């Protein structure tokens, strides 16, 4: 595996690969790899001759009071993981390579209206502009045929899809299942910053979603407000966990719904100590009843892990 930190070097390498008829699959990340990242690497590895993973803790998507300085970093561990997953190129540019002139922000940014208003967009103003801008730049640098994103960050996936569509970017955006620890906690690089007590308390997030899933599937609940309250109530039972939001929204527009119908996203964000965690599940309600997608456990079978949209 090659470690590349310059845009020009990466372009040269990928132009050559594409010239030989190889398709490029791309996984953008902020590093501190875990099984969620690995699942995306495997999905890309299964479909492309050349797999590129980027590792860039994007300062543009962090607010001034956020955890940029505390964000976990582990380049040597990440190199080993990416190599073990058969990644061809790890692209890890310094900040000045992506944003010459930083800390002055770039003059050109990408902003996706509407989808970024609610959920994490309310609590993190400017966050999704930072995400959309860096993903646009990375796609322009890498030129992949397909880019892989986790459904753990459901709003981010919706924003990237919309942006790629609106800007006619020649890339297929694929969403992959949310991966959880054995006790249900959604894998996140930020979990490394939880104390043992906080790590234990954080499992309440999954328990809240499960309670919501039971209510819908076994209880036949179709009222979005009652579902929201049940999920929120479970999350407020843990002293160490402060609920930021629990919302029930249409999966495509991310706007609030009153009644569960079609594909609905139940999204939550909570602070556990100084760590902000997000999680979600998707509820499909049709004539046949309701099916809930809570993601997959660690070490799932490698086939079929990543569904095309
Ligand atoms: P990050 O490094 O946290 O920016 O995440 C990089 C990519 O990995 C994003 O597309 C995330 O949605 C995805 N990802 C992070 N955690 C998980 C998880 N638990 N399950 C699936 N995908 C994930």
Q: For 147-180, what is each residue's pLDDT tens digit?
A: 999 999 999 999 999 999 999 999 999 999 999 9
CA separation for the pair 44, 226 (Å, rounded)? 39
Q: Is the pLDDT of residue 284 over 80?
A: yes
Distance 221 CA to ligand 1 centre (A): 30
Q: Which band of pLDDT confidence, cut at 50, 70 and 90, is reported for residue 306? A: low
The finding on whether 152 has its CB within 6 A of some atom of ligand 1 is yes
The finding on whether 110 has its CB within 6 A of some atom of ligand 1 is no
Please give the pLDDT value at position 307: 47
Q: Which band of pLDDT confidence, cut at 50, 70 and 90, is reported for residue 300? A: low
Q: What is the pTM of this model?
A: 0.96
Q: For 237-264, what is each residue's pLDDT tens digit?
A: 999 999 999 999 999 999 999 999 999 9
Q: Which band of pLDDT confidence, cut at 50, 70 and 90, is reported for residue 298? A: confident
Please give the pLDDT value at position 26: 99
37 is catalytic: yes
Q: Is the pLDDT of residue 283 over 90?
A: yes
CA dihedral of residues 57, 300, 184, 268 (deg, nearest 10): 50
The finding on whether 178 has its CB within 6 A of some atom of ligand 1 is yes
- Give the mean pLDDT of the chain: 96
Catalytic residue among 37, 48, 127, 206: 37
Q: Please compute the mean of the pLDDT values over residues 268-276 and round it to a whole number.
A: 97
The finding on whether 278 has its CB within 6 A of some atom of ligand 1 is no
Q: Is the pLDDT of residue 6 over 60?
A: yes
Q: For 11-38, what is each residue's pLDDT tens digit?
A: 999 999 999 999 999 999 999 999 999 9
């Amino acid at each position: 595996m090659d470690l590349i930190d310059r845009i020009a070097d990466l372009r040269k390498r990928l132009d050559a690969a594409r010239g030989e008829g190889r398709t490029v699959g791309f996984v953008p990340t902020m590093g501190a790899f875990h099984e969620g990242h690995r699942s995306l690497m495997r999905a890309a590895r299964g479909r492309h001759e050349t797999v590129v993973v980027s590792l860039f803790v994007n300062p543009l998507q962090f607010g001034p009071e956020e955890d940029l300085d505390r964000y976990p970093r582990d380049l040597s561990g990440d190199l080993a993981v990416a190599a073990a997953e058969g990644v061809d190129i790890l692209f890890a540019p310094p900040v000045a390579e992506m944003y010459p002139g930083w800390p002055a922000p770039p003059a050109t940014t990408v902003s996706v209206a509407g989808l970024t208003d609610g959920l994490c967009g309310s609590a993190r103003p400017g966050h999704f502009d930072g995400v959309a801008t860096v993903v646009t730049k990375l796609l322009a640098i890498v030129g992949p045929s397909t880019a892989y994103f986790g459904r753990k960050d459901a709003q981010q996936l919706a924003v990237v899809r919309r942006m790629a569509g609106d800007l006619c970017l020649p890339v297929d955006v694929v969403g992959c299942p949310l991966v959880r620890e054995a006790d249900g906690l959604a894998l996140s690089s930020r979990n490394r910053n939880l104390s043992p007590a906080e790590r234990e308390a954080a499992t309440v997030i999954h328990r809240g979603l499960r309670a919501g899933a039971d209510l819908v599937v076994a209880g036949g609940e179709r009222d979005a407000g009652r579902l929201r309250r049940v999920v929120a109530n479970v999350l407020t039972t843990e002293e160490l966990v402060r609920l930021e939001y629990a919302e029930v929204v249409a999966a495509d527009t991310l706007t609030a719904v009153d009644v569960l119908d079609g594909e609905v996203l139940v999204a939550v964000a909570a602070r556990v100590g100084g760590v902000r965690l997000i999680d979600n599940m998707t509820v499909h309600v049709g004539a046949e009843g309701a099916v809930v997608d809570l993601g997959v456990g660690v070490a799932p079978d490698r086939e079929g892990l990543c569904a095309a949209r």
